[in-house]
Structure 1
Amino acid sequence: MRPDHEFRTATPADVPALVALVESAYRGDVSRQGWTTEADLLEGQRTDADDVRRVVEAADSVVLVAVAPEDGRLVACCHVERRGERAYFGLFAVDPTRQGGGLGRQMMERAEEVARTTWRSTHLEMTVIRQRTDLIAYYLRRGYVDTQVRSPFPYGDERFGLPQRDDLEFTLLEKPLG
Protein backbone atom coordinates (compact mmCIF):
# COMPACT_ATOMS: atom_id res chain seq x y z
CA MET A 1 0.00 0.00 0.00
CA ARG A 2 1.44 3.34 -1.05
CA PRO A 3 1.28 6.34 1.24
CA ASP A 4 -1.41 8.92 0.52
CA HIS A 5 -0.85 11.24 -2.38
CA GLU A 6 -0.89 15.01 -2.09
CA PHE A 7 -3.59 16.64 -4.21
CA ARG A 8 -3.22 20.21 -5.44
CA THR A 9 -4.02 22.58 -8.28
CA ALA A 10 -1.61 22.54 -11.22
CA THR A 11 0.49 25.59 -12.10
CA PRO A 12 2.08 26.59 -15.42
CA ALA A 13 5.34 25.04 -14.16
CA ASP A 14 3.57 21.64 -14.19
CA VAL A 15 2.75 21.73 -17.91
CA PRO A 16 5.68 19.55 -19.16
CA ALA A 17 5.00 16.91 -16.50
CA LEU A 18 1.27 16.98 -17.26
CA VAL A 19 1.85 16.40 -20.98
CA ALA A 20 4.20 13.50 -20.20
CA LEU A 21 1.69 11.97 -17.75
CA VAL A 22 -1.22 12.15 -20.20
CA GLU A 23 0.86 10.72 -23.04
CA SER A 24 2.09 7.86 -20.84
CA ALA A 25 -1.44 6.92 -19.79
CA TYR A 26 -2.97 6.81 -23.27
CA ARG A 27 -0.41 6.39 -26.04
CA GLY A 28 2.51 4.18 -26.93
CA ASP A 29 3.94 1.09 -25.32
CA VAL A 30 4.20 2.61 -21.83
CA SER A 31 0.41 3.09 -21.79
CA ARG A 32 -0.06 -0.67 -22.23
CA GLN A 33 1.14 -1.16 -18.63
CA GLY A 34 -2.24 0.22 -17.52
CA TRP A 35 -5.78 -0.42 -18.69
CA THR A 36 -6.64 3.06 -20.01
CA THR A 37 -4.51 2.87 -23.14
CA GLU A 38 -5.87 4.09 -26.46
CA ALA A 39 -2.82 2.75 -28.31
CA ASP A 40 -4.90 0.30 -30.35
CA LEU A 41 -7.29 3.07 -31.46
CA LEU A 42 -5.00 6.06 -31.88
CA GLU A 43 -1.34 6.79 -32.44
CA GLY A 44 0.47 10.10 -32.22
CA GLN A 45 0.00 12.73 -29.56
CA ARG A 46 -2.89 12.92 -27.09
CA THR A 47 -2.23 16.54 -26.13
CA ASP A 48 0.48 19.17 -26.28
CA ALA A 49 1.98 21.85 -24.06
CA ASP A 50 -0.04 24.69 -25.61
CA ASP A 51 -3.37 22.93 -24.99
CA VAL A 52 -2.43 21.97 -21.43
CA ARG A 53 -1.14 25.47 -20.63
CA ARG A 54 -4.39 26.92 -21.96
CA VAL A 55 -6.56 24.91 -19.53
CA VAL A 56 -4.17 25.44 -16.60
CA GLU A 57 -4.39 29.21 -17.06
CA ALA A 58 -8.05 29.57 -18.14
CA ALA A 59 -10.73 31.25 -16.06
CA ASP A 60 -13.45 28.93 -14.69
CA SER A 61 -11.03 26.05 -15.12
CA VAL A 62 -8.86 24.02 -12.79
CA VAL A 63 -6.40 21.20 -13.38
CA LEU A 64 -6.02 18.97 -10.34
CA VAL A 65 -2.94 16.83 -9.81
CA ALA A 66 -1.89 14.05 -7.48
CA VAL A 67 1.74 14.07 -6.39
CA ALA A 68 3.64 10.93 -5.44
CA PRO A 69 4.74 11.17 -1.80
CA GLU A 70 7.98 9.32 -2.42
CA ASP A 71 9.43 11.58 -5.13
CA GLY A 72 7.11 14.52 -5.85
CA ARG A 73 6.27 13.29 -9.36
CA LEU A 74 2.84 14.01 -10.86
CA VAL A 75 1.02 10.67 -11.00
CA ALA A 76 -2.58 11.65 -11.79
CA CYS A 77 -4.44 14.64 -13.18
CA CYS A 78 -7.78 15.89 -14.42
CA HIS A 79 -9.28 19.08 -15.76
CA VAL A 80 -12.58 20.53 -14.56
CA GLU A 81 -14.16 23.46 -16.40
CA ARG A 82 -17.28 25.43 -15.60
CA ARG A 83 -19.80 25.48 -18.46
CA GLY A 84 -22.83 27.34 -17.21
CA GLU A 85 -24.71 25.21 -14.69
CA ARG A 86 -22.67 22.19 -15.68
CA ALA A 87 -18.99 21.36 -15.49
CA TYR A 88 -16.82 19.42 -17.92
CA PHE A 89 -14.36 16.71 -16.83
CA GLY A 90 -11.38 15.83 -19.02
CA LEU A 91 -7.61 15.44 -19.29
CA PHE A 92 -7.99 12.54 -16.85
CA ALA A 93 -4.85 10.46 -16.52
CA VAL A 94 -3.26 8.14 -13.99
CA ASP A 95 0.30 6.86 -14.27
CA PRO A 96 -0.06 3.37 -15.83
CA THR A 97 1.95 1.78 -13.00
CA ARG A 98 -0.53 3.16 -10.45
CA GLN A 99 -3.79 2.29 -12.19
CA GLY A 100 -6.19 -0.02 -10.41
CA GLY A 101 -5.32 1.15 -6.90
CA GLY A 102 -8.04 3.74 -6.31
CA LEU A 103 -6.09 6.86 -7.25
CA GLY A 104 -8.32 7.54 -10.26
CA ARG A 105 -11.44 7.25 -8.11
CA GLN A 106 -9.97 9.71 -5.60
CA MET A 107 -9.15 12.15 -8.40
CA MET A 108 -12.68 11.91 -9.80
CA GLU A 109 -14.18 12.53 -6.35
CA ARG A 110 -12.08 15.68 -6.00
CA ALA A 111 -13.16 16.87 -9.45
CA GLU A 112 -16.82 16.34 -8.55
CA GLU A 113 -16.31 18.23 -5.30
CA VAL A 114 -14.70 21.19 -7.10
CA ALA A 115 -17.59 21.37 -9.58
CA ARG A 116 -20.21 21.07 -6.84
CA THR A 117 -18.72 23.48 -4.27
CA THR A 118 -16.78 26.01 -6.36
CA TRP A 119 -19.31 26.53 -9.15
CA ARG A 120 -22.44 24.86 -7.76
CA SER A 121 -22.61 22.78 -10.92
CA THR A 122 -25.62 20.51 -11.25
CA HIS A 123 -23.87 17.92 -13.46
CA LEU A 124 -20.41 16.84 -14.43
CA GLU A 125 -20.10 15.71 -18.04
CA MET A 126 -17.40 14.25 -20.24
CA THR A 127 -16.91 12.80 -23.68
CA VAL A 128 -15.38 9.36 -24.14
CA ILE A 129 -14.53 7.48 -27.31
CA ARG A 130 -17.58 5.22 -27.69
CA GLN A 131 -15.41 2.22 -28.60
CA ARG A 132 -13.75 2.39 -25.16
CA THR A 133 -16.34 0.11 -23.55
CA ASP A 134 -14.07 -0.78 -20.60
CA LEU A 135 -13.53 2.89 -19.77
CA ILE A 136 -17.24 3.70 -20.17
CA ALA A 137 -18.08 0.81 -17.82
CA TYR A 138 -15.65 2.31 -15.26
CA TYR A 139 -17.51 5.64 -15.39
CA LEU A 140 -20.94 3.97 -15.26
CA ARG A 141 -19.90 2.19 -12.04
CA ARG A 142 -19.16 5.64 -10.59
CA GLY A 143 -22.63 7.04 -11.27
CA TYR A 144 -22.22 8.44 -14.78
CA VAL A 145 -24.92 7.83 -17.39
CA ASP A 146 -24.43 7.43 -21.13
CA THR A 147 -26.71 10.10 -22.60
CA GLN A 148 -26.55 8.41 -26.03
CA VAL A 149 -25.51 11.80 -27.46
CA ARG A 150 -22.82 11.09 -30.02
CA SER A 151 -20.37 13.42 -31.72
CA PRO A 152 -17.90 12.68 -34.51
CA PHE A 153 -14.22 12.08 -33.94
CA PRO A 154 -12.19 14.94 -35.49
CA TYR A 155 -10.58 12.91 -38.27
CA GLY A 156 -7.83 14.86 -40.01
CA ASP A 157 -6.94 16.93 -36.93
CA GLU A 158 -3.67 15.40 -35.76
CA ARG A 159 -3.90 17.28 -32.44
CA PHE A 160 -6.23 14.46 -31.35
CA GLY A 161 -4.04 11.63 -32.64
CA LEU A 162 -3.84 9.42 -35.68
CA PRO A 163 -6.89 7.12 -35.81
CA GLN A 164 -6.24 3.43 -36.44
CA ARG A 165 -9.83 2.75 -37.48
CA ASP A 166 -12.56 4.66 -39.28
CA ASP A 167 -15.54 4.28 -36.92
CA LEU A 168 -14.47 6.35 -33.90
CA GLU A 169 -16.95 8.68 -32.27
CA PHE A 170 -17.52 10.24 -28.87
CA THR A 171 -20.34 9.62 -26.44
CA LEU A 172 -21.42 12.12 -23.81
CA LEU A 173 -21.53 10.85 -20.23
CA GLU A 174 -22.96 12.85 -17.35
CA LYS A 175 -23.42 12.56 -13.60
CA PRO A 176 -25.84 14.57 -11.47
CA LEU A 177 -24.00 16.29 -8.63
CA GLY A 178 -27.02 17.01 -6.42
Structure 2
Amino acid sequence: MELRFAKVFDLPSIVQLINEAFSVEAAFKVGDRIDIEEVKGLFDKGYFLVLEEDGILQANVYLELRVERAYLGLLSIRQDRQGSGFGARLMAAAEKLARESNCRFIDLRIVNLRKELSLFYEKLGYRVVGEEQIDAEIQAKFTQSAHFINMSKDLAHN
Protein backbone atom coordinates (compact mmCIF):
# COMPACT_ATOMS: atom_id res chain seq x y z
CA MET A 1 0.00 0.00 0.00
CA GLU A 2 1.55 3.28 -1.11
CA LEU A 3 0.79 6.59 0.61
CA ARG A 4 1.50 9.54 -1.71
CA PHE A 5 0.40 12.94 -2.91
CA ALA A 6 -2.15 12.83 -5.72
CA LYS A 7 -1.14 13.86 -9.20
CA VAL A 8 -3.29 15.47 -11.89
CA PHE A 9 -3.95 12.10 -13.54
CA ASP A 10 -5.51 10.89 -10.24
CA LEU A 11 -8.27 13.50 -10.23
CA PRO A 12 -10.97 11.46 -12.06
CA SER A 13 -10.31 8.52 -9.71
CA ILE A 14 -10.54 10.85 -6.71
CA VAL A 15 -13.94 12.11 -7.90
CA GLN A 16 -15.16 8.53 -8.28
CA LEU A 17 -13.78 7.48 -4.88
CA ILE A 18 -15.30 10.46 -3.04
CA ASN A 19 -18.71 9.98 -4.66
CA GLU A 20 -18.66 6.26 -3.85
CA ALA A 21 -17.65 6.86 -0.23
CA PHE A 22 -20.23 9.62 0.23
CA SER A 23 -23.05 7.64 -1.43
CA VAL A 24 -24.38 6.94 2.09
CA GLU A 25 -25.59 10.55 2.00
CA ALA A 26 -28.16 9.60 -0.66
CA ALA A 27 -30.57 9.09 2.25
CA PHE A 28 -30.69 12.87 2.73
CA LYS A 29 -28.91 14.47 -0.22
CA VAL A 30 -29.59 14.58 -3.96
CA GLY A 31 -26.78 14.13 -6.48
CA ASP A 32 -23.07 13.46 -6.27
CA ARG A 33 -20.92 14.83 -3.48
CA ILE A 34 -18.37 16.38 -5.86
CA ASP A 35 -17.49 16.82 -9.53
CA ILE A 36 -14.23 17.08 -11.45
CA GLU A 37 -14.23 20.89 -11.50
CA GLU A 38 -14.52 21.06 -7.71
CA VAL A 39 -11.70 18.54 -7.30
CA LYS A 40 -9.50 20.49 -9.73
CA GLY A 41 -10.15 23.67 -7.73
CA LEU A 42 -9.19 21.97 -4.48
CA PHE A 43 -6.12 20.39 -6.09
CA ASP A 44 -4.94 23.87 -7.05
CA LYS A 45 -5.30 25.13 -3.44
CA GLY A 46 -4.18 22.16 -1.38
CA TYR A 47 -3.18 18.51 -1.38
CA PHE A 48 -4.92 15.21 -1.80
CA LEU A 49 -3.14 12.40 0.02
CA VAL A 50 -4.00 9.01 -1.44
CA LEU A 51 -3.52 5.38 -0.51
CA GLU A 52 -2.99 3.27 -3.61
CA GLU A 53 -2.80 -0.50 -3.99
CA ASP A 54 -2.08 -2.26 -7.29
CA GLY A 55 -2.72 0.97 -9.19
CA ILE A 56 -6.15 1.53 -7.63
CA LEU A 57 -6.92 4.36 -5.22
CA GLN A 58 -8.24 2.90 -1.98
CA ALA A 59 -8.61 6.08 0.06
CA ASN A 60 -7.94 9.81 0.00
CA VAL A 61 -8.10 12.93 2.14
CA TYR A 62 -7.85 16.61 1.25
CA LEU A 63 -5.60 19.00 3.19
CA GLU A 64 -5.28 22.74 2.76
CA LEU A 65 -2.58 24.61 4.67
CA ARG A 66 -3.81 28.00 5.91
CA VAL A 67 -1.01 29.69 7.89
CA GLU A 68 -1.36 28.31 11.43
CA ARG A 69 -4.58 26.39 10.75
CA ALA A 70 -4.97 23.56 8.28
CA TYR A 71 -8.31 22.49 6.81
CA LEU A 72 -9.02 18.81 6.24
CA GLY A 73 -11.91 17.32 4.30
CA LEU A 74 -13.28 14.67 2.01
CA LEU A 75 -11.82 11.69 3.86
CA SER A 76 -12.95 8.88 1.58
CA ILE A 77 -12.34 5.14 1.75
CA ARG A 78 -13.57 2.59 -0.76
CA GLN A 79 -16.67 1.00 0.71
CA ASP A 80 -15.18 -2.50 0.58
CA ARG A 81 -12.09 -1.27 2.51
CA GLN A 82 -13.83 0.74 5.24
CA GLY A 83 -12.87 -0.33 8.75
CA SER A 84 -9.40 -1.31 7.57
CA GLY A 85 -7.55 1.52 9.31
CA PHE A 86 -7.04 3.52 6.12
CA GLY A 87 -8.91 6.52 7.53
CA ALA A 88 -6.74 6.70 10.65
CA ARG A 89 -3.60 6.26 8.53
CA LEU A 90 -4.55 9.13 6.22
CA MET A 91 -5.53 11.34 9.14
CA ALA A 92 -2.16 10.73 10.81
CA ALA A 93 -0.33 11.57 7.57
CA ALA A 94 -2.37 14.76 7.08
CA GLU A 95 -1.76 15.84 10.67
CA LYS A 96 1.98 15.17 10.30
CA LEU A 97 2.12 17.29 7.13
CA ALA A 98 0.21 20.09 8.87
CA ARG A 99 2.59 20.01 11.85
CA GLU A 100 5.64 20.02 9.57
CA SER A 101 4.13 23.05 7.83
CA ASN A 102 3.92 24.88 11.19
CA CYS A 103 0.15 24.63 11.52
CA ARG A 104 -0.99 24.67 15.15
CA PHE A 105 -4.53 23.46 14.51
CA ILE A 106 -6.37 21.33 12.02
CA ASP A 107 -10.03 22.03 11.31
CA LEU A 108 -12.78 20.09 9.59
CA ARG A 109 -16.52 20.22 9.23
CA ILE A 110 -19.10 17.50 8.91
CA VAL A 111 -22.80 17.55 8.22
CA ASN A 112 -24.85 16.94 11.37
CA LEU A 113 -26.83 14.16 9.68
CA ARG A 114 -23.70 11.93 9.62
CA LYS A 115 -23.60 11.20 13.36
CA GLU A 116 -21.02 8.41 12.97
CA LEU A 117 -18.45 10.90 11.70
CA SER A 118 -18.27 12.95 14.89
CA LEU A 119 -17.55 9.75 16.86
CA PHE A 120 -14.77 8.77 14.45
CA TYR A 121 -13.10 12.19 14.62
CA GLU A 122 -13.52 12.46 18.40
CA LYS A 123 -11.58 9.20 18.78
CA LEU A 124 -8.76 10.88 16.85
CA GLY A 125 -8.71 13.86 19.22
CA TYR A 126 -10.98 16.31 17.40
CA ARG A 127 -13.44 18.38 19.42
CA VAL A 128 -16.62 20.20 18.41
CA VAL A 129 -15.95 23.94 18.31
CA GLY A 130 -19.17 25.21 16.82
CA GLU A 131 -21.87 24.95 14.19
CA GLU A 132 -22.35 26.63 10.84
CA GLN A 133 -25.44 27.09 8.73
CA ILE A 134 -25.37 25.60 5.26
CA ASP A 135 -25.87 28.20 2.54
CA ALA A 136 -29.11 28.06 0.59
CA GLU A 137 -27.54 26.71 -2.61
CA ILE A 138 -26.08 23.68 -0.82
CA GLN A 139 -29.13 23.23 1.45
CA ALA A 140 -31.28 22.93 -1.69
CA LYS A 141 -29.49 19.64 -2.43
CA PHE A 142 -30.58 18.20 0.93
CA THR A 143 -33.92 16.48 1.41
CA GLN A 144 -34.00 17.51 5.09
CA SER A 145 -32.74 20.40 7.15
CA ALA A 146 -29.03 20.18 7.95
CA HIS A 147 -26.14 22.18 9.32
CA PHE A 148 -22.37 21.77 9.63
CA ILE A 149 -20.55 20.81 12.79
CA ASN A 150 -17.10 22.38 13.01
CA MET A 151 -14.39 20.32 14.70
CA SER A 152 -10.77 21.14 15.49
CA LYS A 153 -7.65 19.51 16.87
CA ASP A 154 -4.77 21.26 18.62
CA LEU A 155 -1.69 19.82 16.89
CA ALA A 156 0.70 21.25 19.47
CA HIS A 157 -0.62 18.92 22.18
CA ASN A 158 -0.48 15.62 20.27
Length-normalised TM-score, structure 2: 0.93
Residue type at the aligned position of 2:115: T
Is 1:20 the counterpart of 2:16? The answer is yes
What secondary structure does 1:128 align onto? strand
How many angstroms apart in 2 are the aligned matches of 1:161 and 1:104?
29
Aligned match for 1:138, one of 116, 120, 125: 120
**Cα offset, 1:161, TM superposition:** 7.7
**Cα offset, 1:155, TM superposition:** 3.3
**Cα offset, 1:38, TM superposition:** 1.6
Q: Which residue of 1 aligns with 2:51?
A: 66
Q: Which residue of 1 aligns with 2:155?
A: 177
Is 1:113 the counterpart of 2:107? The answer is no
Residue-by-residue CA offset, 1:77-103 (whole Å, 9 max, x unaligned) = 111111221000012100010000101
How many angstroms apart in 1 are the aligned matches of 2:123 and 2:113?
17
Higher helix share: 2
What secondary structure does 1:42 align onto? coil
**Cα offset, 1:162, TM superposition:** 2.1
Q: 1:9/1:48 Cα in 2 relative to 1: closer, same or farther (>3 Å)?
A: same
The runs of at least 4 consecutive aligned structure 1 residues that moved more than 4 Å come to none
What secondary structure does 1:82 align onto? strand
Is 1:152 the counterpart of 2:133? The answer is yes
Aligned match for 1:52, one of 39, 44, 69: 39
| Consecutive unaligned residues in structure 1, runs of 5 or more | 28-36
Identity of aligned residues (%): 29
How many angstroms apart in 1 are the aligned matches of 2:104 and 2:28?
32
Q: 1:161/1:104 Cα in 2 relative to 1: closer, same or farther (>3 Å)?
A: farther
Deviates most, 138-147 or 40-49: 40-49
Is 1:163 the counterpart of 2:145? The answer is no
Q: Which residue of 1 aligns with 2:110?
A: 128
| Consecutive unaligned residues in structure 2, runs of 5 or more | none
Q: Which residue of 2 aligns with 1:9?
A: 5
